[in-house]
Amino acid sequence: MGISRRRMLSYLCASAFAPRLLAQSGMASRGLTQRPRPATSGRPFVAHFTDVAASAGLIAPVIYGGVDRKDYILEADGCGCAFIDYDNDGWMDIFLLTGTRLTGAPPGTTNRLYKNNRDGSFTDVTEKGGLQHVGWANSVCVGDYNNDGNEDIFCTYYGENKLYRNNGDGTFTDVTVQAGLSIASDEYSWGAGSGFLNGGTATIGVLNITDRAPPFVASSEPSVLGGTNYDGANASPLGRLVFIQLSKRW
């Protein structure tokens, strides 16, 4: 079943309100006064969660902007993650995005792919998988865009988005350019959210926050919502599917 552009926009538009959510969470951005936390409801919360990240091997930090201060919307967005069975062993693995800092990325900063060891722990296989990358990542979605039975990865960034083809052997190949998803060197893109929309012919929907060039938008300025649809055109041989841009702004 297809998803309309309006519905896709409603799913993803929350990403554009990061500054407001940031203020509500207790961190004040430049030009904003920290808001008090709302009163608790007083109702019992019976669910209980235990943080097992360290024991599961998920210890690499996620880098995104300044630690104690966020001067720009770019630093306040944060990034996402995806559960993906990239090796088709029936166990869910994890692909975790990261960002960078305006002063430069700390050593070791990269997106990370964690393989499920089937015992409650994970192994970092990012380098082996060919998924090392540093940038202002925002969202990630998973889908088999070329119908070869392996789940592929699409990531949105401030800058050029990335499409990774699953090679079926535990590795991925960056096919952004070949798939027609690259941008010109003098263009700017800020993809906030994304999703594979249709079965059959793959379609990628991307929600853009702004198309302004640096210097970055200050955290006190409003975001500019827009969107881009990329429709997959059937091509041969398998794995050479090319996307064409359907719309620039919704």
Please spell the DSSP secondary structure of 59-128, one letter per residue: -SPPP-S-SS---BHHHHS---EEEE-TT-SSS-EEEE-----TT-PPTT---EEEEE-SSS-EEE-HHH
Q: Confidence class of residue 105 from pLDDT cuts 50, 70 and 90? A: very high
Average pLDDT on 96-106 reads 93
Average pLDDT on 59-65 reads 92
**Whole-angstrom distance, CA of residue 94 vs CA of residue 59:** 13
Which pLDDT does position 157 carry in this prediction?
87
Which pLDDT does position 246 carry in this prediction?
38
Question: Which amino acid would we find at residue 174?
Answer: D
Q: Which residues of 39-56 are buried (b: 16+ CB within 10 A; e: fewer)?
A: eeeeeeeeeeeeeeeeeb
- Judged against a pLDDT cut of 90, whether residue 35 lies above it is answered with no
Q: In the structure encoding, which two tokens stand for residue 112, read together?
A: 């990370």
Which pLDDT does position 82 carry in this prediction?
95
135: closest CA among 95, 163, 114, 104? 104
Residue 247 neighbours by CB distance under 10 Å: 13
